Structure 1
Amino acid sequence: MTSAQARTALKKYFGYDDFRPLQLSIIEHVYAGHDGIVLMPTGGGKSMCFQIPAVTMTGTAVVVSPLISLMKDQVDGLRAAGIRAAFLNSSQQGSESHAVEQAYENGELHLLYVSPEKLLSPGFFSFLKRRRVCLFAIDEAHCISAWGHDFRPDYTMLRQLKSAFPEVPVLALTATADRLTRRDMAEQLGIPDAKQFIASFNRPNLSLEVRPGQKRREQIVRFIRERPEQAGIVYCLSRKQTEQLAEKLREAGYNAEAYHAGLSADRRGKVQTDFINDKTLIVCATVAFGMGIDKSNVRWVIHYTLPKNLENYYQEIGRAGRDGSKADTLLFYSYNDYTTLKDMISGGGNAEIQLAKLERMKEYAESLACRRRILLNYFSEDHGDDCGNCDVCANPPERFDGTVLAQKALSAVARLQQSVGVGMAIDVLRGSNRQDILKQGYDQVKTYGAGRDLSTYDWNQYFNQLISLGYLYVAHEDYNKLRLAPAARRVLFEGETVELVKFQTIQKRKKQEEGKTAKRAAAPRSRGSLFDALRELRRSLAREAAIPPYLIFSDKTLEEMSAAAPTTPRALSRISGVGEVKLARFGDHFLQAIRQYGGEPPAARRAAVPPADAAPHLLTYDAYLRGSEVREIARERGLKTSVVYTHLARAYREGKELEITDLLPGQVMDWIDEAIRAVPDTAGRKGVLAYIAEHQQDGVVRSHHLELAEAYRHRNPLPTTP
């Protein structure tokens, strides 16, 4: 198998021109027969890492998933794309199971989804050996680790896979696993030396906001009113909260339902099905809801109360904006939420670890550092730039140069051999005469007493900020000892400056926020009535096909359609997310709707044919507008593809009408914008590309992407950062 075959399959089945960061590397790793651990955020494209090998390798890929409610959605989506897939779990009747088993034995399946219980049932390994298994994919693999947030003891039996099928690669995938959980996953699965692939957890399309917990219901009604006809989830701590809030929203005129474990299985199934099919737009749910949801067009997620840890929080907000389009998240926080959760966790299993993680969740909610930085640093992603898309960045606090304070704190941790917790580090900095400090000889370290001018309270605040900013982390598995993160070296030895928040600002903002609701406008959407018409068509086609609407095309794909208004099959095929099977099955319906809505193609496509002696870039521009693809133009005009892109960029700079962002796959525009902000102007293109290679994986952004992006920013400058 080759990367070229993988790219061909990507376009054919899924309609994408380029892989996301790490996906191709993981696929090639599987092709080579190696085991792997994959950590990718929700919506980051984990499934593609085993679905592409499944359709390109000989044999069947077996996917182990604990989410029975999700299997049917995934299989329906794969079948809609032309991929042969099926599932086996306890929800099926005997005849259904027999038909799937027969299809597997006949070699008719690309993918077979099974529950862990089914996989480990007597005789199932023997059944699988009747055909060739090309890959085992373990989804939600954090469930195998007692350190994980959703530990399932039955999952630990999955280590039998490697013994029974030693030659078959095992790919363990999860969206939420900290450093300790990832290591334990590999050990439990019997693949301790498996390569770990850790994708960027940066989801720039998600806005992040935390608000005080006063008058939550009224705030939620206003929040939803600003986002009409958008699907969303409100996560609540208790069953009672879900029922009361759903009733409140219905009284306000919204189609909302409650979901919790106290409902009958039939009722839970109906709520979930109606939400997936856009019949119900709002679900007020306990945390159990969402584990079986693969819905790509959830546009917002609200947390009515504080989650237990950042892993849960990140996984739950990750259910919004899975299609890559803009989405909003909102967390309500009060100290009472924290104490309630603390009481619930105390006395339970792994209480010490879980309480430490709750503290980090509380620090996130109370922090005045960029929220995205806190999240990314928590998942060991060294991220030093503010995001510009959270409430703290929108209203930045007053900061000061805290480099000297940071150097003292980091130096103390280093000189204490990274063997103490926060309390001891502070006592050493303040020159405490505690007997255990003297006994350990900590009074002899160079930083002893270096911070006696600050109170214990102040140092606690500063240490919390240094942890949030990613200079330190807490080793929960080793008695909560402080460890230096890679970023600490830059402060201690490379002259990096550290900005910390003034306490006066913290106190001032807390007073301002009491009894006051932060006002935040809904994220701008590039949607108009054509988008609404296409969405209604999608809903109608989904009813006929008996599948969820988002499995036909995502919101992101509909947005691109409404912006580009393609009127030919070739032009429609250039829209991201339109693969061969979906083009053949649904293309005519969408093309007809676009033609009926617009009457004629956009003005750019009605442009007069330029004379034969026109400038070369205008001839290229005209060919592109008339539906020719870049490679076609290059072949017909005897040009390199890079030259074609240069021509299109020049035409756009000169004011020609062109959806230039269609030529920039995935999140490339966001990455380029981030790099432009981060590197000095003198760094030039090489500097921008080097930054992207370091932070977003090499090979994803190419020179012609940068040239197109520069043309786009020539006419659409980046907004200045406040």
Structure 2
Amino acid sequence: MPVANPDLQNAYEVLDRVWGYDEFRPLQAEAVSDVIAGRDSLVVLPTGGGKSLCYQVPAIVREGMAVVVSPLISLMKDQVDALTSNGVAAALVNSTQSDDQKRVTAQRIRSGEIRMLYMAPERLLTSRTLDFLTTVPISFFAIDEAHCVSNWGHDFRPEYRGLRVLKQRFPDASVHAFTATASERVRDDIVEQLGLKSPNVLVGNFDRPNLRYRMMQSNGKLQQIQTVIEQHRGESGIVYCITRKEVEQTAAALETIGITALPYHAGLDDVTRQANQEAFIQEKVDVIVATVAFGMGIDKSNVRFVIHAGMPKSIEHYQQESGRAGRDGLTADCVLIYSGGDVMTWKRILENGDRSNFDDAMGSVNAMADLCSGVRCRHAAIVSYFGQEYDVDNCNACDVCLGELETVDDPVTLAQKILSCVVRLQERFGVAYTVKVLTGAKDQKILSSGHDRLSTYSLLGDEPAAAVKMWIEQLISQDYLRRVGEYGTLALTPNGRDLLKRIGSVTLTRPPARAVRSRAGNSGAGNGYSRPEESWEGVDRGLFEHLRALRSQLASQRNVPAYVIFGDAVLRTLARQRPSDLDRFGTIHGVGQRKLEELGEVFLNAINEYCDGHPLTRDVPDTSPRPTAATSVKKPLSMKGELAINQARELFRAGKSIDEVAQIMGRAESTTRGYLANYIADENITDASPWVDAEKIPLIEEAAGISEDQRLKPIFDALAENEAIKVPVSYADIRIVMSCYQNRNQQAEPT
């Protein structure tokens, strides 16, 4: 991939060497270029869009040390662990460290060893820290979760406002702000508050095509939650609740039905809260039940589902919270279970808080309610909310586009009944009162106002009040009705007046049937939920779990999150392609040079171990779907790898043993055996004697009849149990002999 800019060329080299990627995702290259050039910037990329690489790559390319501002200690630790595992000199400073630890870090900074330093804004802005940093060469400042700077942002933090001083104290260092969610007003405020100088503002596509959105009315909520979790047994997921009490109740209820879950909310003591988060991050527990206090900056790539057991207070919050699923680009499910009472719950919470922006906050709540009850493609609705166009006719990734919503048979007539009632009430009443009139409630206000004598009174008396309320909300979301004024009275829009004349079309859905508890592996029929399988295509599930167990063991030994070892996407690719040597292992997307050197042999041995007992083809070509905006392209087999394979082939052809080839090439024995397997297959070799003792060959071939499906384990077990056999026979011996044996049999078959 030719790049004219030599600095950007260096960035591509770093990206491949350190992270194992050979392409940037959308807007990453532009963001990296700005940081390398020292131009202030603001980057808005959705969760999972790869914001961290936008400053981590330039920190390695540029001279000096980069300072990363991050709001949470756990996030800083995770990122430093991940960088260190990739061979990058990174460090953090926080209040949990001892004075000795801080002194060691300071010495490493003075010596020029550290390329990236992470700290919270409170620590960075102390006079002592600022004075210290002026004594060392600073390349740039990266401000993560930059929406916290703005009072209009959904997580405003006053301490972030003080970061404006960075442009004053470090005039030669550029400042770069990164966030996943920021409206135009928030973006403008960030630029102003940080004092950025002519910044380049990059706004990515807010759509996350790998996420499957489903909005469900609450109807047996615990069973609905359980159904989703059961479809993801053994996988990581988050359940969000609105209140602390509901968090505790839900976590306890899940435990009683056999689902391991831990609570997380601001009311827990620091030790418990941190321990529960660590248990989730390190995959000691699959499900965390939490308030929105959990999740900001949680750098866990393999969250396979996010369930909202109540409506978030804004679409900004929902986009951020649901976006914590599928950060690795693999398919993930986002299920929102809402009820009519959620709006009132948020209203009570907001009334007890800061009232200065109450109206704006309630506007956000109502917009979220419209998204829940709406019948427009969820991806299109979310993207359009952030001011972007969605030009896909069918996303195939939401309940609307997948046809999972049950629609009413004659929606226009039903809509006319509702709209007529609003007109007869002279557009002077809100949703709740209109529902009472339509359902024939004997409310005193209705009777005293004479509204029980309206022709629309009890017009929908056979329908549940919750269904009528939902239809009114759907008419609002489709622009046939609108809320007006402080009290939210209902009024018809021009489209609504046309629909009264049967001009236009409308979609109205029926409430769901009560959720039925399903067993693990069931499709969850009756609740519109089915597990996506696309990202599992070609993956051997047993091998994936085998590698997952190894990853968990290594992560526990190193006291790091499991994804720091390898993400799920890498494990699935390994379980799909099943590489036979390190060169092919190194071509896997997401395997950098440091990981290859440290972990390649370990994982290759695990693949060999599993494949010995199962009839699996090795070195399977990659036939997975082409990359989307959330993924990147697969690395091709390097020229170095091809040369190594060809060199090994020539050495084996010359009669060299496995040990000799390994010594000549400087490769491990397991890698060399992989080269031999390729040679035997490519050259149709039928004689195993150059690599296996002659006395073992007939014993192995005789035992081959035991394994009808060509698995190696039955052969190995039969030979090990035969007391007459005195020579030890290894899996490697069996693999070589069986490959030659199969080649000989194929050549003997009539054509």
For 1:629, the aligned partner's letter is S
Q: Kindly report which structure 2 residues correspond to 1:303-452, keeping only aligned pairs within 5 A, or say none.
A: 303-346=308-351, 348-349=354-355, 350-385=357-392, 386-395=394-403
Answering whether residue 528 of structure 2 is matched by residue 523 of structure 1, we say no
Please name the residue that 1:275 is paired with.
Answer: 280
Instruction: Output one character per residue of 1:238-293: Cα deviation in whole Å (capped at 9) or x when no partner.
Output: 11111111111111111111111121111111101111111011111111011252
Query: Contact 1:399–1:502 at 8 Å: present in 2 too?
Result: no
Please name the residue that 1:573 is paired with.
Answer: 586
Distance in structure 2 (CA, Å) of the matches to 1:182 and 1:532: 43
Pairing partner for 2:607 from 586, 591, 594 = 594
- Secondary structure of 1:266's aligned partner: helix
Distance in structure 2 (CA, Å) of the matches to 1:226 and 1:598: 27
- Secondary structure of 2:279's aligned partner: helix
Query: Contact 2:282–2:562 at 8 Å: present in 1 too?
Result: yes
Please name the residue that 2:221 is paired with.
Answer: 216
Answering whether residue 7 of structure 2 is matched by residue 6 of structure 1, we say no
Instruction: Output one character per residue of 1:626-674: Cα deviation in whole Å (capped at 9) or x when no partner.
Output: x95379779999xxxxxxxxxxxxxxxxxxx9xxxxxxxxxxxxxxxxx
Q: Kindly report which structure 2 residues correspond to 1:6-155, keeping only aligned pairs within 5 A, or say none.
A: 6-155=11-160
Please name the residue that 2:560 is paired with.
Answer: 547
Offset of 1:164 from its aligned partner?
A: 1.4
- Secondary structure of 1:268's aligned partner: helix
Offset of 1:54 from its aligned partner?
A: 0.5
Distance in structure 1 (CA, Å) of the matches to 2:214 and 2:67: 39
Structure 2, unpaired ranges of 5+: 1-5, 410-426, 429-469, 485-502, 517-525, 622-635, 647-680, 682-751
Distance in structure 2 (CA, Å) of the matches to 1:362 and 1:551: 37
Of the two, which has the highest radius of gyration? 2
Please name the residue that 1:663 is paired with.
Answer: none
Instruction: Output one character per residue of 1:12-54: Cα deviation in whole Å (capped at 9) or x when no partner.
Output: 1111111101111111112221000000111110000000000
Q: Kindly report which structure 2 residues correspond to 1:479-558, keeping only aligned pairs within 5 A, or say none.
A: 502-503=505-506, 505-506=507-508, 509-511=509-511, 518-524=527-533, 525-526=536-537, 527=539, 528-558=541-571
Instruction: Output one character per residue of 1:40-76: Cα deviation in whole Å (capped at 9) or x when no partner.
Output: 1111100000000001110011001111221111101
Structure 1 pair 78/604, CA: closer, same or farther in 2 (3 Å)?
closer
For 1:382, the aligned partner's letter is E
Query: Contact 2:376–2:400 at 8 Å: present in 1 too?
Result: yes
Please name the residue that 2:169 is paired with.
Answer: 164
For 1:299, the aligned partner's letter is R
Structure 1 pair 601/113, CA: closer, same or farther in 2 (3 Å)?
farther
Instruction: Output one character per residue of 1:555-591: Cα deviation in whole Å (capped at 9) or x when no partner.
Output: 0010011000011111011101100001111110110
Query: Contact 1:40–1:200 at 8 Å: present in 2 too?
Result: yes
Structure 1, unpaired ranges of 5+: 401-421, 424-456, 475-499, 608-626, 638-656, 658-722
Query: Contact 2:44–2:178 at 8 Å: present in 1 too?
Result: yes
Task: Give the superposed CA RMSD.
Answer: 3.2
Offset of 1:193 from its aligned partner?
A: 2.8
Distance in structure 2 (CA, Å) of the matches to 1:240 and 1:458: 30
Offset of 1:502 from its aligned partner?
A: 3.7
Q: Kindly report which structure 2 residues correspond to 1:172-183, keeping only aligned pairs within 5 A, or say none.
A: 172-183=177-188
Q: Kindly report which structure 2 residues correspond to 1:294-309, keeping only aligned pairs within 5 A, or say none.
A: 294-309=299-314
Offset of 1:321 from its aligned partner?
A: 1.0
Please name the residue that 1:583 is paired with.
Answer: 596
- Secondary structure of 1:392's aligned partner: coil
Q: Kindly report which structure 2 residues correspond to 1:215-254, keeping only aligned pairs within 5 A, or say none.
A: 215-254=220-259
Q: Which moved more, 1:544-553 or 1:378-387?
A: 378-387
TM-score by length of 1: 0.70
- Secondary structure of 1:249's aligned partner: helix
Offset of 1:604 from its aligned partner?
A: 6.8
Distance in structure 1 (CA, Å) of the matches to 2:480 and 2:109: 50
- Secondary structure of 2:187's aligned partner: helix
Answering whether residue 220 of structure 2 is matched by residue 207 of structure 1, we say no
Distance in structure 2 (CA, Å) of the matches to 1:263 and 1:172: 31
For 1:241, the aligned partner's letter is E
Distance in structure 2 (CA, Å) of the matches to 1:49 and 1:307: 29
Query: Contact 2:121–2:160 at 8 Å: present in 1 too?
Result: yes
Query: Contact 2:371–2:477 at 8 Å: present in 1 too?
Result: no
Distance in structure 2 (CA, Å) of the matches to 1:636 and 1:605: 13
Structure 1 pair 252/534, CA: closer, same or farther in 2 (3 Å)?
same
For 1:580, the aligned partner's letter is Q
Please name the residue that 1:256 is paired with.
Answer: 261
Distance in structure 2 (CA, Å) of the matches to 1:634 and 1:539: 34
Please name the residue that 2:271 is paired with.
Answer: 266
Structure 1 pair 290/461, CA: closer, same or farther in 2 (3 Å)?
closer
TM-score by length of 2: 0.67
Offset of 1:319 from its aligned partner?
A: 1.0
Offset of 1:82 from its aligned partner?
A: 0.4
Distance in structure 2 (CA, Å) of the matches to 1:75 and 1:114: 11
Distance in structure 1 (CA, Å) of the matches to 2:115 and 2:218: 48
Please name the residue that 1:485 is paired with.
Answer: none
Structure 1 pair 384/631, CA: closer, same or farther in 2 (3 Å)?
farther
Structure 1 pair 399/144, CA: closer, same or farther in 2 (3 Å)?
farther
Structure 1 pair 214/20, CA: closer, same or farther in 2 (3 Å)?
same
Distance in structure 2 (CA, Å) of the matches to 1:366 and 1:231: 28
Query: Contact 2:94–2:119 at 8 Å: present in 1 too?
Result: yes
Query: Contact 2:580–2:619 at 8 Å: present in 1 too?
Result: no
Percent sequence identity over aligned pairs: 39
Query: Contact 1:34–1:194 at 8 Å: present in 2 too?
Result: yes
Query: Contact 2:373–2:474 at 8 Å: present in 1 too?
Result: no
Query: Contact 1:399–1:501 at 8 Å: present in 2 too?
Result: no
Distance in structure 2 (CA, Å) of the matches to 1:184 and 1:399: 45
Offset of 1:465 from its aligned partner?
A: 3.3
For 2:144, the aligned partner's letter is D
Please name the residue that 1:488 is paired with.
Answer: none
For 2:132, the aligned partner's letter is F
